Amino acid sequence: MTDERTTTFKGDPLVILGPELKAGDNAPDFELTDNGLGAVSLADTGSGTRIFSVVPSLDTPVCDQQTRRFNEEAAALGDVTIYTVSADLPFAQGRWCGAAGVEKVKTVSDYKNGNFGESWGTMIRDWRISSRAVFVVDGANIIRYAEYVPEIAEHPDYAAALATARDIVGSS
């Protein structure tokens, strides 16, 4: 049986599929697609600290701002890799990054099978795209920070996610 929760979009409730992951949980595996149409699994993201910034679509204002913000913060984080996960086609992600000048964040797509959204608990059932969320994962693939933004049109808590990433890097 699939877990179901709700989020809102401009106040309207939407059903979210998948488990609600918490700090301390093992990061679930996934299969995403990179901008060159290659498969990307959790193992492919390396063994260092990673931020998974999950957005519904890069072509919307808050998603655009969220991705740009993490791109700006990337240089100051040290050994942290940041991934933006969306259901946008890989070609659209690449086009968006080029137009936005985003070079430090890696975009990966959940368009093929939605298994990231379903296993990480971000899949909007009726839209088949992800809700807004941020996860920080350490080198042992343990989730150290998990935030499911309750209103899709609002920003995540950047400061908390970035502080967690800095703490992990500082303690290793």
| pLDDT tens sequence across 118-143 | 999 999 999 999 999 999 999 999 99
Question: pTM for the whole thing?
Answer: 0.96
For the sheet with 123-124, list strands across it: 4-9, 12-17, 123-124, 129-130
User: What is the rounded CA–CA span in Å between residue 9 and residue 133?
Assistant: 14
Pairing of the two strands 4-9 and 12-17: antiparallel
Which domains occur in the chain, in start order? 16-171 (3.40.30.10)
* 63 counts as catalytic: yes
Q: Give per-residue pLDDT as tens, 69-123.
A: 999 999 889 889 999 999 999 999 999 999 999 999 999 999 999 999 999 999 9
Q: Which of 40, 42, 58, 63 is catalytic?
A: 63
